[in-house]
Structure 1
Amino acid sequence: MLATEKKKNWFEDNRRWFIVGIIFLTIVFNYVDRQMVSILKPLLKEEFTLDDGGYAFIVNIFTICYAIMYPVSGWLVDKFGAGKIMLYSIILWSVACIGGGFSRTVAQFGFFRGLLGMAEPANFPAQLKTVTVWFSGRLRATANSLCVAGSSIGAIIAPPLIAWLTLQFNWQTAFIICGSVGLLIALLWKIIYRKPPVEVTKEVMQSEARDAGERFTWRQLWTTRSLWGILLIRFISDPVWYFCLFWLPGYLQEGSGLTLAQIGLFGWIPFLIADVGSIATSAWSDKMVRKGKQPLRARKIMLTATVAMAPLCALINYLPGAVSTLIVFSCIAVMALSWLVSLSVVVAEAFPMHNVASVLGIAGGFGALGAVLFNYYVGQVIGELGAGNIFMLMSVLHPLAALLLWTMVRREGNRQKDKEANRQESSEAATQRGIRQKAEGNQF
């Protein structure tokens, strides 16, 4: 009985890390499902008689639905809680993936890609909300990076997994099997996830010096400078990561001459390096916090340092072969994923806890909108002019994002609280002055 009680206590003490593990698995297969179309691009183009413009249209069906639902998903998470919304999201995108495998026309396939785009955005606001309420600033970036590392791990395992399933069976089977795994993950989430106990919530609040009731209304959020800064940052920086996901495997096949089997063998390398790099950069920013650096400033310093790799984008069109292309894209992927991961933490540092999912949802929608426009541009330019102009554009996006980060993003929650305190203090002072004036008048 005592041993059982100890095991139960150990599990409860470490429940938050089990939750992180399930979120990691969720995001792994989330990214496997969304990246399948890029890995199978030549087959899908042949199956549905598509050119690059048609492929970009299929990608944008997903991305437009993703952009529209991202803000809605953030609001739903703040309204109904991370546990419930994450569960429904996993079930819905798993069903959408399975449906893609049963599609026989481009209209059917496009419908299920759109459904996937509507279901997937809730994962990230729910993930950030979970990390924010379970972890203080001393561990938040590390826990967040371990969760979001699932994105690059998904991108790592997707090429060999999808290539193997397709070569062993067919592309339809690959969709059905990956969607079925998602349903198993949903069951795990239902079993493991709980709201944090009171003592954890108090610890997080105390470490952040936050008022549990502090929050912005939806309307007030749009009046903050930091929200607009984060929206612009996501709008111009997200497309670089989307390019790595949706266009890199196809570019390596069509531009560098790799076969589908070779993509399965080597296409995961940039994403593995991005994964390790993003965890390392997040841990570095947490280390700065533990040494006394203000959390938001620590994230800004780290993200700015990664921008040194942005100019490498301009070299891609001049590289001699697939090996050098993989090396350069690995560096670019580290930068892009570090920004994607740590901007979520920036949201958690800049806004009250009750608003983080909503802010991330709005920002994610703007990021996806930027990717929609960039995907359209890529589809037109690759087909007509080649990729050189695309890579030149990519080389300046993150430096611009760094400028916006330093000039527009700040801690907003305490500012709102301070304004309210100042108003209350002014009101009390005015009341005291009125009392004194009345007393003085009565003396005469």
Structure 2
Amino acid sequence: MKGLLSAEKRRWFIVAIIFLAIVFNYVDRQIVSILKPVLKSEFSLNDSGYAWILNIFTICYAVMYPVTGWMVDRFGARVVMFYGIITWSLACIGGGLSRSIGQFGFFRGLLGAAEPTNFPAQLKVIALWFPGKLRATANSLCVAGSSIGAIIAPPAIAWLALTYSWQIAFITMGAVGILIAVLWKLVYQDPPPHILKESVATTAATAVSPVGFKWKELWGTRTLWGILLIRFVSDPVWYFCLFWLPGYLQEESGLTLAQVGMFGWIPFLFADLGAIGTSAWSDKLVRKGHDPLKARKLMLTRVAILSPLCALTPYLGGAWATLAVFSIVAIACLSWLFTISVVVAEAFPVQNVASVLGIAGGFGALGAVLFNYFVGQFMGTLGAEKIFIAMAFLHPLAVLILWTMVRPEKPKNIKL
């Protein structure tokens, strides 16, 4: 009993460290959006140039996401997470030390290459340490770090930049990341056999699959393509919240950098609370007897109706209306981002979850690259109205893909 209690306590402590890692993962990537006017002035950029900086990060992120997913399945979460945090923290520090747009672009690319290590490793840990009845809740508590990072980033980055300099904002956040990497190295260990047995036994795919798919076999599954398409069409809305909303509030809604620091975190707080609540709701459906995968689908379908509200943004006027609309839209965005990871864990063998999430994350980032280019090219010409209308259709499309393409998958060579 003492060993069981020790293992149960350890898994929640591991969740807490992952939460901290994801918090600063998101702070590091969001610095550029909060300091958009400052960086545009510092490096003589227009919106197209700013989109170019975003896409250096996002393209590297998209390319490395599948690679890091494979690395987690091959080498384990402990090693890959540690070196990933160290690398992205050093990249953040490098951004603060940059003296030219070329140097700054290089370090944003390095940041993009390192940051994907976090999420495949996180999902692998959740799949190994938590059974189905706790999995969505544990996953949401980990990934809640993304919106918490987005919450603390505006006031923290604005204060550091206004009190010291924009360079200090980058350097400080990178230094914090190095401390988190050391903490992860000291604490994480693989789960004991009784915890692993419980986790595997409650996953639909692994319950009948003692082995996983080979890399090439994954590409022959309908569910993989469904997950890829879902991330490709739904992720851009969340990337807009991260990379474009703070600048929109300053350039279109009239807020100052200090005011963005005071109020820009509000949508992300709503997103966090809402996404944790919807994840707990889907776990409750599982405890009531629903099939785990169906429970996730039902929840995601119901929250997707919130996303089209973004189309109203240009017609309401004012910063507060924009904050209110995106506080609601962000709930849908983050609920999907949280729970699609759980869908992967429910649909595929545990041996493949990091690889699948890595591939899916790469496709989501690719969707964001294309959308960043679209926004950067047309924000000033087509107008914001058409951009918001385009975003309104993305989550409903993801619902259609979810119900038609996603199902439990098992290797064909496994006999029941």
Which is worse superposed, 403-412 or 313-322?
Answer: 313-322
| Aligned counterparts, 1:349-388, within 5 A | 349-388=346-385
Matching residue of 2:250: 253
| 2:415 partner letter | A
Matching residue of 1:337: 334
Q: Does 1:291 align with 2:288?
A: yes
> Which protein has the larger Cα radius of gyration, Structure 1 or Structure 2?
1
| 2:390 partner letter | L
- Aligned residue for 1:50, secondary structure, equals coil
What is the CA distance between 1:137 and its match in structure 2? Answer: 0.6
What is the CA distance between 1:12 and its match in structure 2? Answer: 3.8
Matching residue of 2:84: 89
Matching residue of 2:186: 191
Matching residue of 1:435: none
Matching residue of 2:401: 404
Q: Please give the TM-score of this superposition, normalised by the length of structure 1.
A: 0.91
Aligned 8 A contact 2:208 2:414 in 1: no
Which of 231, 235, 239 in structure 2 is aligned with 1:238? 235
| Aligned counterparts, 1:306-325, within 5 A | 306-325=303-322
* Counterparts of 2:181 and 2:311, CA distance in 1: 42
Give CA-to-partner distance per residue, 1:169-215, whole Å, 9 cap, x none: 00000100000000000011011100000110111122336256321
Alignment RMSD (CA, Å)? 1.4
| Aligned counterparts, 1:33-432, within 5 A | 33-208=28-203, 210-211=207-208, 213-413=210-410, 416=411, 420-421=414-415
| 1:67 partner letter | A
Q: What is the percentage of aligned positions where both structures have the same residue?
A: 69
| 1:243 partner letter | F
* Counterparts of 1:372 and 1:325, CA distance in 2: 23
* Counterparts of 2:395 and 2:146, CA distance in 1: 20
Which is worse superposed, 130-139 or 212-221?
Answer: 212-221
Give CA-to-partner distance per residue, 1:393-426, whole Å, 9 cap, x none: 000000000000000000002xx35x6427xxxx
Q: 1:408 to 1:9 in 2, by over 3 A?
A: closer
- Aligned residue for 1:383, secondary structure, equals coil
Q: 1:9 to 1:236 in 2, by over 3 A?
A: closer
Aligned 8 A contact 1:205 1:211 in 2: no
| 2:261 partner letter | G
* Counterparts of 1:296 and 1:217, CA distance in 2: 23
* Counterparts of 2:9 and 2:60, CA distance in 1: 36
Matching residue of 1:433: none
* Counterparts of 2:151 and 2:390, CA distance in 1: 26
- Aligned residue for 2:202, secondary structure, equals helix
- Aligned residue for 1:355, secondary structure, equals helix
Which is worse superposed, 267-276 or 380-389?
Answer: 380-389
Aligned 8 A contact 1:316 1:328 in 2: yes
What is the CA distance between 1:291 and its match in structure 2? Answer: 0.5
Give CA-to-partner distance per residue, 1:352-371, whole Å, 9 cap, x none: 00000000000000000000
Aligned 8 A contact 2:236 2:368 in 1: yes
| 2:55 partner letter | N
- Aligned residue for 1:274, secondary structure, equals helix
Q: 1:361 to 1:385 in 2, by over 3 A?
A: same
Aligned 8 A contact 2:308 2:392 in 1: yes
- Aligned residue for 1:421, secondary structure, equals coil
* Counterparts of 1:385 and 1:411, CA distance in 2: 42
* Counterparts of 1:407 and 1:211, CA distance in 2: 23
Give CA-to-partner distance per residue, 1:376-400, whole Å, 9 cap, x none: 0000111222211100000000000
* Counterparts of 1:378 and 1:390, CA distance in 2: 7
* Counterparts of 2:77 and 2:234, CA distance in 1: 26
Aligned 8 A contact 2:282 2:296 in 1: yes
What is the CA distance between 1:13 and its match in structure 2? Answer: 3.3
What is the CA distance between 1:9 and its match in structure 2? Answer: 7.5
| 1:126 partner letter | A
Matching residue of 2:17: 22
Give CA-to-partner distance per residue, 1:100-150, whole Å, 9 cap, x none: 010000000000000000000010000000000000110000000000000
- Aligned residue for 1:14, secondary structure, equals helix
* Counterparts of 1:310 and 1:18, CA distance in 2: 33
Aligned 8 A contact 1:48 1:106 in 2: yes
What is the CA distance between 1:313 and its match in structure 2? Answer: 1.4
